[in-house]
Amino acid sequence: MIFYTLLNESIKTPRAVFYDARLETARIRQLEPGWEQVPHWEPVQAGERLKSTEGIFSLWERMERLGLGRGDVVAGVGGGTVSDALGFAASTWKRGGMASVWMPTTLVGMIDAAHGGKTAANFRGTKNILGTYQLPTAVLVHPEWLTTLPQEELLSGWFELAKHALLEGPEAWAQLAATPSPTLADVVPRIEASIATKLRIASADPFESGLRKALNFGHTVGHALEAWSHTHDTPLTHGRCVGHGMRCALRYSAPEALNAADAALVRWLGGAPPPVDARALWSYMLQDKKNEEREVREVVLDGIGRPRWDVTLRFDTFEDAWTALQAPEA
Ligand SMILES: NC(=O)c1ccc[n+]([C@@H]2O[C@H](COP(=O)([O-])OP(=O)(O)OC[C@H]3O[C@@H](n4cnc5c(N)ncnc54)[C@H](O)[C@@H]3O)[C@@H](O)[C@H]2O)c1
Ligand SMILES: [Zn+2]
């Protein structure tokens, strides 16, 4: 399934395909037979480290070695770390001008990261503090990739899918909320609607001056937890962190939103977040780029499908919510 392409020619002959080294190139060529002609196949080590300054530097080095420049098309095959990092490197290389094509291979990539044109890199442990806006010319969604995705990574995407449903409205949410434990059969039929929500919101406000901020629901606390977890041996997935972040934000949202959404989220998460000190998370939250004047800005729900953004969050409000999540009966 080709989800969309702005410039049809671009997918025919990328000059280079940067792909997650965990994936087989034969599988990529099978899905895009036209790519037999691609001269350069570049494996990358996917993961948050690809989004570090060293990771971005290594992508620029390859662009230089391959002589890539304006008018060339680069393709990225992999999850959100590949499209974020390659998108950032490509959009800054020679001041942009290269076209990008994404073939997302994770659920996070398929429904979220590959769409909407936000590129991102991390700096000194702060997630996504560097970035540009550049729309891909095409996004090639092949749900077949999900058959080899580990369950924990599928679940990671499920939380972004759930976020889209919570932003879409009560009907979309009700369809998801009854799912006991998400499987491939629950996911695949929902991909298209989830992409539609992302594109509806992102295209209404491409540079995030208003509505698009709603897509950060769960991410203020989620990014802090994710950054914290990357300083430990067993990092949590992006989506799982967003899941905990949504539960936290529901505690200072309207009670009707909390009542409608919390039980399903905790069921999918399988329990409380790790017992991280609220102060430690807060220090990460203060780095968040959504903030203004050193205040932490949050997204809350006034109801299902009714997000409100730029809400100033006080430390004690956050601490109460975070502490409540740790309680066994929460
Ligand atoms: N730009 C955006 O709008 C946006 C939106 C959401 C998330 N993101 C970013 O996306 C990143 C998370 O994305 P992700 O979860 O896709 O991360 P990822 O790229 O690290 O992929 C997750 C894991 O799955 C493996 N993998 C990928 N495809 C596979 C397949 N088909 N089969 C088996 N294993 C496979 C990868 O090697 C990796 O270990 C975060 O950095 C987040 O900030 C960006
Ligand atoms: Zn996300």
The CATH number of the domain holding residue 175 is 1.20.1090.10
Given 126, 148, 170, the domain boundary residue is 148
pLDDT at position 233 is 82
**Eight-class DSSP state of 253:** S
- Digit-coded pLDDT (tens) for 178-220: 999 999 999 999 999 999 999 999 999 999 999 999 999 999 9
- Our count of domains for the chain comes to 2
Question: Cα separation of 93 and 87, whole Å?
Answer: 10
Percent of the chain with pLDDT over 70: 94
Are 234 and 249 part of one and the same domain?
A: yes
Distance, in Å, from the CA atom of 198 to the CA atom of 4, rounded to the nearest integer, reads: 13
Tell me: the pLDDT tens digits for 224-248? 999 999 888 889 999 999 999 999 9
pLDDT at 287: 83
145 CA closest ligand 1 atom index: 31
Same-domain check for residues 110 and 222: no
Model pLDDT for residues 157-170, shown as the tens digit of each residue: 999 999 999 999 99
Residues 6 and 76 in one domain: yes
101 and 219 both lie in a single domain = no
The pLDDT of residue 315: 97
Task: Please indicate, yes or no, whether residues 313 and 179 belong to a single structural domain of this protein.
Answer: yes
CA distances from 287 to 45, 185, 294, 306 (A): 26, 38, 8, 26
Mean pLDDT, the chain, rounded, equals 93
Q: Do 131 and 183 lie in a common domain?
A: no
> pTM of the full predicted structure?
0.94
**Res. 292 pLDDT band, cuts 50 70 90:** low
User: How many angstroms separate the Cα of 113 from the Cα of each of 108, 257, 264, 266, 313?
Assistant: 6, 25, 23, 24, 26
Asked if 45 and 191 sit in the same domain, the reply is no
Residue 95's pLDDT is: 92
* Residue 245, C-beta contacts closer than 8 angstroms, at least 6 positions apart: 218, 219, 220, 221, 222, 223, 224, 225
- Please give the residue range of the domain that contains residue 96: 2-148
Per-residue pLDDT at 50: 98
Model pLDDT, residue 2: 52
Residues with CB under 6 A from ligand 1: 20, 22, 46-48, 51, 78-82, 84, 105-106, 108-109, 112-113, 116, 118, 120, 128, 145, 148-149, 153, 156, 238
- Ligand 1 atom nearest 84 alpha carbon: 1
Residue where a domain terminates, one of 148, 171, 202: 148
Best residue among 49, 51, 118, 153 to mutate for probing ligand 1's pocket (most ligand atoms within 8 Å of CB) is: 153
Domain boundary among 95, 130, 148: 148
Alpha-carbon span 179 to 146, nearest angstrom? 18
Quick one: 167 and 287 in the same domain?
A: yes
> How many other C-beta atoms can be found within 10 angstroms of the C-beta atom of residue 235?
16
| pLDDT recorded at residue 64 | 97
pLDDT tops 80 at residue 13 = no
Q: Above 90 in pLDDT, residue 288?
A: no
Beta-sheet strands, E only, within 217-313: 296-301, 307-313
259 Cα: distance to centroid of ligand 1 (angstroms) = 30
- Rounded percentage of the chain residues whose pLDDT exceeds 90: 87
Say how many Å lie between the CA of residue 295 and the centre of ligand 1.
Answer: 29
Residue 8 pLDDT > 60: no
Residues 10 and 118 in one domain: yes
Nearest CA to ligand 1 atom 20: 47
Which of the ligands is closest to the CA of residue 115?
1
283 with 232, same domain: the answer is: yes
Query: What is the model's pLDDT at position 10?
Result: 56
- Which CATH number do you get for residue 142? 3.40.50.1970
On the question of pLDDT at 120 being above 70, the answer is yes
Ligand nearest to the CA of 113: 1
Q: Measured from the CA of 108, which atom of ligand 1 is nearest? A: 16
Region 35-48: mean pLDDT is 95
pLDDT greater than 60 at residue 125: yes
Q: Which ligand lies nearest to the CA atom of residue 230 in the structure?
A: 1
pLDDT greater than 70 at residue 3: no
